Amino acid sequence: MAFYHVVGFFCLFGGCCASVVNDDCPFVFNVERTIKNQGFHRNVDYYFELISVSEMSECHVCVKQAIPLGLYVNKDQITEMVRLGKIEATVDGSVDIEAPADKATPHDVYFHVELTLGFNTMNATVTLPVHTRYHSARKDGGLEEAVLLDPEVLLSCSSIPEQCKNPDVSGEKQYPTTCPVINDRSDYLAVKYATVS
């Protein structure tokens, strides 16, 4: 019988708060993540803020969050949250919630959120429940880290300045023309943000 010990914590790699100021695009986009709760069952709160000097309206965000082996998102829990109107999300990949980290497979979560108009900003908050897995015991003891990397963030607005529509000219990455959560067929802008330490 295999022995497992509890993951003591998981961290957000690359910091919790990030923003971008693009010389070609007249807006600032902030992303902030915070972890709530203790133990195996955590909530990751995402806060999105768009500050623009140009007319941008009807904006929404599509987020792809890669979930590493040491963590999981429960598909049934997400399905229930969608049914209750608490989140617009889908889990891509198979998720065995009983599997320890060394037997698990990575999966992705996509979620969609509309930005609401505030004072000179548009913003939104969404909470994603994330759970830690058991890890195999180590000879030297200690804890394992489960690292939740920065998400890929895509932005769509009814009016985005023309110079902002193709920020990734390298062609290395292909971004979806639809958000897998709602299939809205919008054009998305890959939002690049630098980590604020």
Residue found under tokens 């939740």: 148
Q: Pick the range with the lowest mean pLDDT from 128-137, 145-154, 188-197.
A: 188-197
> Mean of the pLDDT values across residues 7-32?
56
Q: What is the pLDDT of residues 34-69, one digit of tens each?
A: 999 988 999 999 999 888 767 778 888 999 999 999
Task: Please tell me the predicted confidence (pLDDT) of residue 109.
Answer: 97
* Rounded Cα–Cα distance for residues 181 and 156 (Å): 14
pLDDT digits (tens, 9 = 90+) for 133-183: 998 888 888 888 888 999 998 888 887 766 665 555 444 455 556 788 876
pTM, two decimal places: 0.79
- pLDDT(1) > 90: no
- Please, what is the average pLDDT of the chain? 78
Residue that has been written with the tokens 């999105």 in this structure: 48
Domain boundaries, position 175: 4-196
As for how many domains the chain has, the answer is 1
Closest CA to 75 of 46, 41, 104, 109: 109
Which of the pair, 101 or 169, is modelled with greater confidence?
101
Question: What is the spatial distance between Cα 146 and Cα 101, in angstroms, rounded to a whole number?
Answer: 9
